[in-house]
Structure 1
């Protein structure tokens, strides 16, 4: 039986994005090992290792993670090591290099390089050199957006491949039918308002605050803003909405397992992030036939065509978000046409198409 090791910084990355990969590998006679920080498990995993990866490169636990991974690799004759996330990818590849297994295929999926057009200089100084160097020891470097792909082509990886993200189960979002009124009552969302929604961790990068500021500037009580997610910025965002006098219009829904249902009762998906690889949340909104207002950044531009599927706005352009929201308010025909464009466009990102690419190029030894 072939053996594969999947690694990522945290459990949530594996369980949010890669369970279909693990199922595919199990079905194709692989013994599946997973190394990530956490104790979550799945029937699709044969061996789970709790490895103390840390997102910050300065944490000493990353040294412990490196040593633990070396032992895991030494004790297992892996056919494939497939690593994800920046620190998970760096530490796993360093451990594999130090062990020197020549018959192991090393794959790294970059879910968004930290160095990109417009990124801070420190990101380029810290992450670019090591990713370029590690590419020499990477049999297959996978990127999920076109900007990263063009840059990776200049690296010395044995092979570089573009994949359209982790794939979307389009049927899960397009085919669902719900009672809209009942769902709005359940979530205590006002009727007869333009309902905006953002989905993602409440952190600085996701930039929810600019939408709260835009709503405050608009001064229109007939706008509701739903935020799905948890994170370190939650209290700050709640206080901001209170201080700007829009707390009654901004609803924090926390972590949700019914996103596919909630997307069916809203009008516009807003996504003002500073940095993305290729957002699954954005793909889910498109699969739900929603128009989109999002930041004009790498990854988002792979998915949204300006003025056809929505509007692209610089992430710090408050007036740009205000203008885009205003265009959506009293124009249901525009929202409907943009949503129809998105649901058609996202078909090529369907999980089935991504799996076909994986079968053809990624896991064939």
Structure 2
């Protein structure tokens, strides 16, 4: 039986953690010995001493397992260090899964230039196989053309959760927050950081006075306290609820009507798939892999990033319950097929066996 290592930093929440859990809980765990390894993420800031210590820690972890395959979450600086550790170890094959890249963010700082044109190309070149989780990333990440011959395996999407909605309890969110049944709950789930675009939800709230809608933001991060200070009035009026990190996300999503995803860059979002699974109508920005899941006017509404006016317009379009129902049914049907176990983990299994 082959031994597979899932190599990443340790997360308390977020998409990467969910992706690993999906693999560990899948049929693949019966075909392979799969183990998750990693240490808590640390701020390295290009410090060479910290970087070398990080590589050494991962090298020791990987070597101790005597594994056949290391599946490493890349790209970016941390990904490079983990791939380097795997390259120096006794593992037989390195597969890099691209969940994010410095090419996603259009910055031209010296640090970004080093990452985009030196670090990430080296990381890609070290991989025996590499794939992205959305088609958009195949176009965005230019150094993918530097992969070894035949190493770029294209796209392997994240797997649709396919959680039985009937087994998820209803009414928890409305009861907890005392939200009347006639209110439309707009929820956003994700780390509260700049690139997730929560600031445009706040801007929308400041200018959008329709009392039919209430907003809930789920997640923790650097800007949560900032938004608490900025939105004291909206919080007091119970138009905005900042819920922090939660472990009952499916229950919260099931009670919600609209999933608002104003992210500034994205790959293939697990939070979006979870919302679709719980029959939330989705409003997403036209970035990354979002439009590979949501087709505007068919499975949801697509808006421009950094645009509060577009959010307002989309919310009005979503106000009709029957319209939301059409979107949720279409998105659910599409995602179940497009991101099925066969189309996702089945492709990953092929890579493990090559």
TM range (shorter): 0.7 to 0.9
Structure 2 CA distance, aligned partners of 1:245 and 1:191? 19
The structural deviation recorded for 1:124 is 5.3
Structure 2 CA distance, aligned partners of 1:59 and 1:328? 50
Number of the residue aligned with 2:21: 19
Structure 1 CA distance, aligned partners of 2:28 and 2:44? 27
Number of the residue aligned with 1:167: 159
CA RMSD of aligned residues (A): 2.6
Contact 1:7–1:88 (CA under 8 A) maintained in structure 2? no
Aligned length: 344
Number of the residue aligned with 1:44: none
Structure 1 CA distance, aligned partners of 2:32 and 2:253? 37
1:259 aligns with 2:255: no
1:320 aligns with 2:323: no
Structure 1 CA distance, aligned partners of 2:155 and 2:341? 11
1:148 aligns with 2:137: yes
The structural deviation recorded for 1:174 is 4.1
Change (3 A) 1:321 1:173: farther
Structure 1 CA distance, aligned partners of 2:199 and 2:224? 10
The structural deviation recorded for 1:26 is 4.3
- Residue pairs, 1:1-365, within 5 angstroms: 2-12=2-12, 15-23=17-25, 24=27, 26-30=29-33, 32-38=34-40, 53-54=42-43, 56-58=45-47, 60-85=49-74, 86-99=76-89, 104-116=92-104, 119-122=106-109, 125-129=113-117, 130-150=119-139, 151=141, 153-157=144-148, 158-170=150-162, 172=163, 174-176=165-167, 178-180=169-171, 183-242=173-232, 247-329=237-319, 331-347=320-336, 348-359=338-349, 361-365=350-354
The TM-score normalised by the length of structure 1 is 0.84
Contact 2:190–2:271 (CA under 8 A) maintained in structure 1? yes
Structure 2 CA distance, aligned partners of 1:336 and 1:58? 51
The structural deviation recorded for 1:73 is 4.3
The structural deviation recorded for 1:134 is 2.4
The structural deviation recorded for 1:108 is 0.6
Contact 1:207–1:272 (CA under 8 A) maintained in structure 2? yes
The structural deviation recorded for 1:74 is 4.6
Worse-superposed segment, 252-261 or 68-77:
68-77
SS at match of 2:102: coil
- Could you tell me which runs of 5 or more consecutive residues in structure 1 were left unpaired when the two chains were aligned: 39-51
Change (3 A) 1:26 1:308: closer
Change (3 A) 1:289 1:275: same
Structure 1 CA distance, aligned partners of 2:327 and 2:238? 28
Worse-superposed segment, 83-92 or 103-112:
83-92
Contact 1:3–1:80 (CA under 8 A) maintained in structure 2? yes
**1:75-113 per-position Cα deviation (integer Å, ceiling 9, x unaligned):** 5533112111434421122223345x5x71111101122
SS at match of 2:346: helix
Worse-superposed segment, 77-86 or 342-351:
77-86
Q: By percentage of residues, which structure has more helix?
A: 2
The structural deviation recorded for 1:292 is 1.2
SS at match of 1:201: coil
